[in-house]
C-alpha cells in the first residue's frame, strides 16, 4: 500500500516540476555526501562520510544543463563520474584550491588536512598527495577550510578561533596565524578578499582578520537572539566582488531559524532580519548551510533543517523580526524518499555564474542539480 502511494507522490511532483524548474537532473550516489565543491564550471567533487573507507568522486554535470540554446540537440542528461578515489576516513569538509587540480579535505576527527590531486585527462584516479598539519593537535569536530582566492595555493584552516592558520600548500609552511585568546568552535572560514577573511564561530562570533597584518582581529558578536544556546552559521557575500571588505554583507542563521543580515562596516546593528520557516526537530545540525547567491542579488539558500532547500529574497526583509516565506523550495529529495526515512539535505551550493542553478545533496545519497523558475517574477 505504501509503495504505490510513494510513486504517486513522485509522479505528481514530476509533472509539477516540469513547470517549476527550467532544468532538473538527479543522480544517486552509493553513499551520501555532505560536501559539494566546484572544481570547474561543470564539475563538482563529492565524498562520503562513513566511518572508514569512503569514495571521493569528481562528477561532471549533465551536458544538457549547459545546452542553453539548443537543448534539443543535447541528449546527454546524466551525471558522469570523471575521477574517483578512496579516503581512509569520513570527509566532513572539502575545498578546491583555485587554479589547481587540487582539493583539501578534513575528516572531522582531527586537525590534519588531506591533500588530493584530482587527476587530469590521462588518469581517472584521485590520489592523496600529502597532508597539512593543523596548528593544534587536539581537535573535536574537525577543521574548517578555506582556500585563498589568489593564484598561490594556500589554505586557511582550523577548528577553533584560537587555532586558525594559513598554510602554503606545496611547502606546508605556515604563513599566518590568527592571534586571539578565544577558542570558539568554528562553523566556517571564508575569505572575503584575497587577504581578509572571516572566522565564523558556532556561538555567533565572527572574527574579521587580515593576513597582511599581525593586528588582533575585529570581533563581531552574535545578534540578540530569542533562543538560548543556539548555534549560528554564517556566510559573507561573494569574496571576489567584495573589493571593499567593509561593505560586505553577511548573513547569520541560528538553529532556531532566525536569519540576520548585517554589514561588516556596521556590525552592531542588524541591517535586516527574518524568522525563517524551518523545523529544526529532525535535523542534523552539523549539516546546516546558508549561502548567498553569487548571481542573484539579495537571495540566500538555506538547507539542513529538513529535506528541502529553501531560497529567500532578503531584500524585502526589514529591521524588525518578521516571518519570511521562501521564494522557492526544492523538495525533490523528500519527494523521492520514503516518508519515514527522515531524509535531510546535507549540503547545497549555488552555481558560480548561472543565477538560479543550485546543486544539493541529501542523506539518502541523492544529488540534484536544478534551475528553478521564479514564479513571482513577471517573466
Residues in contact with another protein by CB under 8 A are: 4, 7-8, 10-12, 14-16, 18-19, 71-73, 75, 77
SS (H, E, C) 4-65: HHHHHHHHHHHHHHHHHEEEEEEEECCCCECCCEECCCCEEEEEECCCCCEEEEEEECCHHH
Of the pair 11, 88, the CB lying nearest another protein is at 11
CA–CA gap between residue 368 and residue 187 (Å, rounded): 24
Of the pair 72, 120, the CB lying nearest another protein is at 72
Q: Which residues pair with 190 in a beta bridge?
A: 198
Distances (CA, A) of 94 to 105, 191, 216: 4, 15, 28
Of the pair 4, 120, the CB lying nearest another protein is at 4
Q: Which three cell numbers stand for residue 229?
A: 544556546
CB of 124 to another protein, least distance (A): 22
Note whether 149 and 160 are within 8 A (CB).
Answer: no
Of the pair 79, 197, the CB lying nearest another protein is at 79
Q: Which three cell numbers stand for residue 366?
A: 541523492
Note whether 335 and 286 are within 8 A (CB).
Answer: no
Of the pair 72, 378, the CB lying nearest another protein is at 72
CB of 9 to another protein, least distance (A): 9
Distances (CA, A) of 303 to 16, 111, 168, 194, 279: 22, 26, 32, 28, 11
CB of 358 to another protein, least distance (A): 20
Note whether 239 and 192 are within 8 A (CB).
Answer: yes
CB of 373 to another protein, least distance (A): 14
Of the pair 71, 177, the CB lying nearest another protein is at 71
CB of 6 to another protein, least distance (A): 8
CB of 342 to another protein, least distance (A): 21
Neighbours of 60 (CB within 10 A): 17
CB of 346 to another protein, least distance (A): 24
Note whether 111 and 134 are within 8 A (CB).
Answer: yes
Of the pair 10, 133, the CB lying nearest another protein is at 10
Of the pair 22, 42, the CB lying nearest another protein is at 22
Q: Identify which of 95, 101, 66 has the alpha carbon closest to the alpha carbon of residue 82.
A: 101
CB of 310 to another protein, least distance (A): 20
Amino acid at each position: 500500500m505504501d509503495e504505490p502511494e510513494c510513486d504517486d507522490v513522485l509522479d505528481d511532483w514530476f509533472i509539477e516540476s516540469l513547470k517549476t524548474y527550467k532544468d532538473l537532473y538527479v543522480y544517486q550516489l552509493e553513499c551520501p555526501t555532505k560536501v559539494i565543491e566546484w572544481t570547474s564550471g561543470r564539475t563538482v567533487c563529492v565524498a562520503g562520510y562513513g566511518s572508514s573507507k569512503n569514495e571521493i568522486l569528481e562528477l561532471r554535470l549533465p551536458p544538457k544543463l549547459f545546452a542553453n540554446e539548443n537543448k534539443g540537440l543535447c541528449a546527454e542528461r546524466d551525471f558522469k563520474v570523471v575521477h574517483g578515489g578512496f579516503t581512509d576516513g569520513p570527509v566532513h569538509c572539502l575545498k578546491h584550491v583555485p587554479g589547481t587540480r587540487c582539493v583539501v579535505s578534513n575528516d572531522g576527527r582531527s586537525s590534519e588536512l588531506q591533500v588530493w590531486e584530482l587527476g587530469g585527462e590521462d588518469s581517472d584516479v584521485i590520489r592523496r598527495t600529502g597532508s597539512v598539519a593543523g596548528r593544534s593537535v587536539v581537535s573535536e569536530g574537525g577543521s574548517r577550510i578555506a582556500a585563498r582566492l589568489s593564484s598561490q595555493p594556500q589554505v586557511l584552516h582550523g577548528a577553533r578561533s584560537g587555532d586558525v592558520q594559513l598554510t602554503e600548500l606545496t611547502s606546508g609552511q605556515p604563513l599566518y596565524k590568527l592571534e586571539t585568546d578565544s577558542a570558539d568552535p568554528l562553523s566556517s572560514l571564508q575569505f572575503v578578499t584575497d587577504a581578509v577573511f572571516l572566522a565564523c564561530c558556532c556561538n555567533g562570533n565572527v572574527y574579521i582578520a587580515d593576513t597582511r597584518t599581525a593586528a588582533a582581529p575585529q570581533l563581531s558578536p552574535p545578534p540578540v537572539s530569542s533562543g538560548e544556546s543556539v548555534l549560528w552559521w554564517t556566510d559573507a557575500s561573494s569574496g571576489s566582488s567584495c573589493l571593499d571588505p567593509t561593505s560586505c554583507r553577511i548573513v547569520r542563521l541560528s538553529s532556531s531559524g532566525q536569519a540576520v543580515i548585517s554589514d561588516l562596516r556596521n556590525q552592531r546593528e542588524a541591517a535586516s532580519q527574518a524568522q525563517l520557516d524551518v523545523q529544526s526537530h529532525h535535523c542534523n545540525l552539523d549539516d546546516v548551510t546558508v549561502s548567498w547567491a553569487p548571481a542573484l542579488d539579495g537571495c540566500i539558500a538555506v538547507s539542513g533543517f529538513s529535506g528541502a532547500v529553501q531560497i529567500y529574497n532578503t531584500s524585502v526583509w526589514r529591521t524588525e523580526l518578521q516571518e519570511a516565506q521562501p521564494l522557492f523550495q526544492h523538495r525533490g529529495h523528500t519527494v523521492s524518499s520514503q516518508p519515514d526515512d527522515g531524509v535531510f539535505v546535507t549540503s547545497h551550493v549555488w552555481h558560480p555564474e548561472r543565477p538560479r542553478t543550485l546543486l544539493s545533496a541529501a542523506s539518502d545519497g541523492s544529488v540534484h542539480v536544478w534551475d528553478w523558475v521564479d514564479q513571482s517574477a513577471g517573466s
